[in-house]
Amino acid sequence: MSHALIEIIAHKSSGYGPRTYANALEGDITIAVAANYKTGGERLTHKAAGEKFLALPLNMDAIDAARLLYRTLRNRDLKNPVINVAGNGMQTMNRNGFTQEFVNIRLLEILSPVHKHWPIAKVISGGQTGADMAGGIAAHALGIPMKLHFPAGFKQRYADGVDQQFSKEEILQQVKNGVSALKQEARKRREMAAEETPTP
Residue 199: predicted pLDDT: 59
Query: Left (φ > 0), alpha (ψ -120 to 50) or beta: where does 165 sit?
Result: beta
Report the phi/psi class of residue 134: left, alpha or beta, with left for phi > 0 and alpha for psi in -120 to 50: alpha
Residues whose CB falls within 8 Å of the CB of residue 165, separated by 6 or more in sequence, listed in order: 153, 154, 155, 156
% of the chain with per-residue pLDDT over 70? 96
> β-strand 155-157 against 163-165: which pairing, if any?
antiparallel
* pLDDT at site 193: 78
Q: What is the pLDDT of residue 4?
A: 62
Structure confidence by residue, pLDDT tens digits, 51-87 = 999 999 999 999 999 999 999 999 999 999 999 999 9
Average pLDDT over residues 16-20: 96
Per-residue pLDDT averaged across 93-104, rounded?
Answer: 96
Does CATH place domain 6-196 in 3.40.50?
yes
pTM assigned to the model: 0.93
Cα–Cα distance between 61 and 42 in angstroms, integer? 20
| Region 111-121 average pLDDT | 98
